[in-house]
Structure 1
């Protein structure tokens, strides 16, 4: 399910101080399974050497146009690439790309490329917003080039503004997205909920849970890796997690807000994966002012809406989503309680995990779950990272969608 495994990626590096970040990007791409061929402009070599990239990728890095075999190299690199990424891409290189110049190995390779092209601009104060740069970017966008960033921040000159290259981890997310467009979930809309809700007691206190949201975010990334359009509804406890590149994100605080967002998305989604830890109870009355420390309030609770039951009712009326996956986080009678939820909420599958285990569930990066499907099928999975769990779940989702389409 890794969209970068075995992909040939040409990483172009132009002459910016941000070239040092390109070394980190090359390392991340290689660790993700890609075959990375680095091409440096003359200016880039003044900041970082080809040897640095060769050491990180295990493959020769290319620089001079006047190498003895350069006339062969640029054709092989450009036509053999699955993706061309230029990061950093300076204003000078943007101008050359827009006008079709080929005066160095990087721009020559770009002209021969027959693959998607991504550029991550990096330049100092005022240069990105200059009309000439904007015109060049517009020309490239019309040709289908994807422009990543830039970000706002402090420049090498000490100025602050728009022009910083995106961080390597963020660029990696966009590269994954570009590499997954023809995956088995291409054309499908997957809605995922993640994180826990917060139910207010007064203006400063609330009832919540220990959900980190990591499993839900891993599910969103796995769906993106399979080519899906992903809508991610994020509870308050996961608000600080970075959004996977390409996901459409909605942040909510309470169970009521979560229900509203999920039900709206479910009207058009092909798949709903309800991984959020939604509060089962909320205070019947929220105090208008902060409860004083000396007071010992008697808090009366009421049930929140059962979102998956509401989805089941809506599903009977509108016929969507085709596949609904629930989660059961239990501290006792795991399979018995999960089986009850599977049947009662008319789910396509439920993921059951024992939250009493120290190495699984809340606040850790691993999980040990069992997948339950209608008909009594139970598939226990070994201890995995949450990313691996997400891939296993999405693999079953692809199969469930195929069953629905064939029925």
Structure 2
């Protein structure tokens, strides 16, 4: 059956695809280690910045900032050291950086669970019983990971949940080539471009998706509950501001619901983005400038298990750090060259996206980085 045509529209806008419940900050330069580290260091070294993360009286803010800044200082020291390590051994330092960043992120919501407490990783893995990366899994236990999962997704993850490492690896877009070469599966992440279409009375969300969506699956079911697939018009590159050099195959979906214009005839961007975030369980923030967001499918086809790339990176960094400490033979370049290659890529390619994830968490809003020439023709 042929796809229906898209609704006709008279105008369109291309705002960043941000979570309207949080808002966003736009940077007029590309993401880089110096920029991200300096932005995070503000929270540790400038009192008015750091303590603004915490509600309540000034005395409480000052008290929490003492722990906050020291979690951040430890994290920054570990991260800066990790950058200088050229291979997978850096995973240990990266994980301890991310663990301290996560504690700092969680201080604003659950300080009593962290300050002065012995805090667990929130994930358990037994390297002595590990057989292969493809067959390994992580087990959720009390501690940082389930807290971070709830903070970032708004959902609880049950203690005792087992998470297959192989599936986590396919949720991380920046290592897709290495995961395929290591025969761990195909990347499940799809690039997503966003447009708000407008007619005389309403606006609605249009999503241009690169890549396949498993069918049938709970991911597809959620998407089609709120969006319908329509034919891709000939002018899609112009309207989504994509270069004519692009040769990618795309699919177009428009929100089933529309949102009315304001009383003055303007577009309610936040209201329209609320239509998009009806599929928030499978949306992830971008860490690359060539897309507006990423579609992160459920970890399973038949059961919804949200796993944004930000949490997949965190969990894999924990797993890699465990292997570095207790079973480095898994990375032996003579025995398992593909795995050594893949974990070198994890250390190298996930580092900058993890900093973006952290800054978004600490600032409480999505962070978008644009090359300085982006907005000039």
TM-score (norm 1): 0.22
The structure with the greater share of residues assigned to helix is 2
Higher relative strand content? 1
Specify the structure having the higher radius of gyration (Cα). 1
| TM-score scaled by length of structure 2 | 0.24
